[in-house]
Amino acid sequence: MNVFDKRLQPIADYLERFPNEAEQNLASLKDQLLTDCDMFNRKNYRGHVTTSLILFKGALKEILLIHHIGLNALIQPGGHFENDKDLWASALRELKEETGICSVQLMDWGQPSTSMPFDINTHPIPASPSKSEVAHVHHDCLFLASLSRNPKIKQQIEEIKDFAWKPVMAPDISPRLRHVIAKARAYGLF
Instruction: Give the domain ranges of the chain.
Output: 6-186
- The segments of the chain whose pLDDT lies below 70 read 1-2, 4
Position 167 scores a pLDDT of 94
Note the pLDDT tens digit of each residue in 1-19.
Answer: 667 688 889 999 999 999 9
Position 69 scores a pLDDT of 87
Position 134 scores a pLDDT of 95
Note the pLDDT tens digit of each residue in 16-38.
Answer: 999 988 888 898 999 898 888 78
Q: What is the DSSP string of 15-81?
A: HHH-HHHHHTT-HHHHHHHHH-S-TT-TT-TT-EEEEEEEEEETTTTEEEEEEETTTTEEE-SEEE-
Position 150 scores a pLDDT of 78
Position 96 scores a pLDDT of 95
pTM for this entry:
0.93
For domain 6-186, the CATH class is alpha beta
